Amino acid sequence: MIALAHTGPSDEPYREGAENSAFYLADVPHIDAVIFGHSHRLFPNKEFAKSPNADIVKGTVKGVPESMAGYWANNISVVDLGLTEHNGKWIVTEGRAALRPILMQRTKSACRK
Protein backbone atom coordinates (compact mmCIF):
# COMPACT_ATOMS: atom_id res chain seq x y z
CA MET A 1 0.00 0.00 0.00
CA ILE A 2 1.27 3.47 -0.87
CA ALA A 3 0.00 6.31 1.30
CA LEU A 4 -0.49 9.76 -0.23
CA ALA A 5 -0.64 12.25 2.60
CA HIS A 6 -1.17 16.01 2.82
CA THR A 7 1.13 16.43 5.81
CA GLY A 8 4.71 17.33 6.57
CA PRO A 9 7.61 15.75 8.47
CA SER A 10 8.22 15.99 12.20
CA ASP A 11 10.48 14.39 14.79
CA GLU A 12 8.34 15.69 17.64
CA PRO A 13 6.65 13.11 19.88
CA TYR A 14 3.38 11.87 18.37
CA ARG A 15 0.20 13.66 19.34
CA GLU A 16 -3.25 13.19 17.87
CA GLY A 17 -4.20 15.86 15.34
CA ALA A 18 -0.62 16.96 14.69
CA GLU A 19 -0.28 18.98 11.48
CA ASN A 20 3.00 17.32 10.45
CA SER A 21 2.73 13.58 10.86
CA ALA A 22 4.27 12.00 7.74
CA PHE A 23 7.09 10.30 9.63
CA TYR A 24 4.58 8.56 11.93
CA LEU A 25 3.02 6.80 8.94
CA ALA A 26 6.08 4.51 8.92
CA ASP A 27 4.57 2.91 12.05
CA VAL A 28 1.26 2.04 10.37
CA PRO A 29 1.06 -1.66 9.47
CA HIS A 30 0.87 -2.55 5.76
CA ILE A 31 2.04 0.85 4.47
CA ASP A 32 4.89 0.11 2.05
CA ALA A 33 5.70 3.70 1.00
CA VAL A 34 4.61 7.27 1.74
CA ILE A 35 4.42 10.22 -0.65
CA PHE A 36 3.71 13.36 1.31
CA GLY A 37 3.68 17.12 1.02
CA HIS A 38 2.47 20.08 3.00
CA SER A 39 5.44 22.14 4.06
CA HIS A 40 6.94 22.42 0.52
CA ARG A 41 10.28 21.01 1.66
CA LEU A 42 12.31 18.16 0.19
CA PHE A 43 12.72 14.66 1.58
CA PRO A 44 15.05 12.92 1.38
CA ASN A 45 17.75 15.57 1.67
CA LYS A 46 20.50 16.67 4.03
CA GLU A 47 18.11 18.85 6.07
CA PHE A 48 16.95 15.61 7.71
CA ALA A 49 20.39 14.06 8.27
CA LYS A 50 19.98 14.26 12.05
CA SER A 51 16.42 12.96 12.16
CA PRO A 52 16.65 9.89 14.37
CA ASN A 53 14.47 7.64 12.21
CA ALA A 54 15.36 8.95 8.75
CA ASP A 55 17.91 7.49 6.35
CA ILE A 56 18.51 10.23 3.78
CA VAL A 57 20.66 7.98 1.58
CA LYS A 58 17.91 5.38 1.16
CA GLY A 59 15.06 7.87 1.51
CA THR A 60 13.40 5.94 4.29
CA VAL A 61 11.84 6.54 7.69
CA LYS A 62 12.09 3.50 9.95
CA GLY A 63 12.84 1.51 6.80
CA VAL A 64 9.73 2.69 4.91
CA PRO A 65 10.40 4.70 1.72
CA GLU A 66 9.06 8.25 2.10
CA SER A 67 9.32 11.26 -0.18
CA MET A 68 8.26 14.92 -0.29
CA ALA A 69 8.86 16.63 -3.63
CA GLY A 70 8.97 20.34 -2.79
CA TYR A 71 6.68 22.77 -4.59
CA TRP A 72 5.54 23.99 -8.03
CA ALA A 73 6.48 20.65 -9.61
CA ASN A 74 10.19 21.31 -9.16
CA ASN A 75 10.85 17.64 -8.28
CA ILE A 76 9.19 14.28 -8.63
CA SER A 77 9.34 11.49 -6.10
CA VAL A 78 10.75 8.18 -7.27
CA VAL A 79 10.00 5.15 -5.10
CA ASP A 80 11.62 1.82 -5.89
CA LEU A 81 10.12 -1.22 -4.19
CA GLY A 82 11.67 -4.67 -4.24
CA LEU A 83 9.07 -7.44 -4.43
CA THR A 84 9.37 -11.12 -3.58
CA GLU A 85 6.80 -13.82 -4.24
CA HIS A 86 5.99 -15.78 -1.11
CA ASN A 87 3.37 -18.54 -1.10
CA GLY A 88 1.72 -17.11 -4.20
CA LYS A 89 1.60 -13.54 -2.87
CA TRP A 90 3.87 -10.63 -3.64
CA ILE A 91 5.37 -8.85 -0.65
CA VAL A 92 7.53 -5.74 -0.43
CA THR A 93 10.93 -6.78 0.88
CA GLU A 94 12.88 -3.57 0.38
CA GLY A 95 12.48 -0.04 -0.80
CA ARG A 96 14.04 3.34 -1.29
CA ALA A 97 12.91 6.82 -2.27
CA ALA A 98 14.65 9.65 -4.09
CA LEU A 99 13.92 12.99 -5.69
CA ARG A 100 14.47 13.94 -9.31
CA PRO A 101 14.46 17.62 -10.30
CA ILE A 102 12.27 18.38 -13.30
CA LEU A 103 12.72 22.14 -13.57
CA MET A 104 15.99 23.92 -14.09
CA GLN A 105 16.75 26.27 -11.23
CA ARG A 106 17.79 29.72 -12.48
CA THR A 107 20.56 31.60 -10.81
CA LYS A 108 20.73 35.38 -10.72
CA SER A 109 23.66 35.30 -13.12
CA ALA A 110 21.71 33.14 -15.57
CA CYS A 111 18.92 35.72 -15.69
CA ARG A 112 21.21 38.62 -16.69
CA LYS A 113 21.91 39.61 -20.27
Domain coordinates of the chain in residue numbers?
A: 2-111
DSSP state at residue 112: -
Taking phi first (over 0 means left), then psi (-120 to 50 degrees means alpha), and beta for anything else, what does residue 49 get?
alpha
pLDDT of residue 72: 86
In a structure prediction context, what are the per-residue pLDDT tens digits for the chain, which is 113 residues long? 999 999 999 999 989 999 999 999 999 999 999 999 999 999 999 999 999 999 999 999 999 999 999 998 889 999 999 999 999 999 999 999 999 998 666 665 555 55
Task: Please state, as a whole number, how many other Cβ atoms lie within 10 Å of the Cβ of residue 87.
Answer: 5
Say if residue 22 is exposed, middle or buried (CB neighbours under 10 Å; 0-12, 13-18, 19+): buried
Strand, helix or coil at 20?
A: coil
What's the pLDDT at 102? 86
Which pLDDT score is estimated for 63?
97
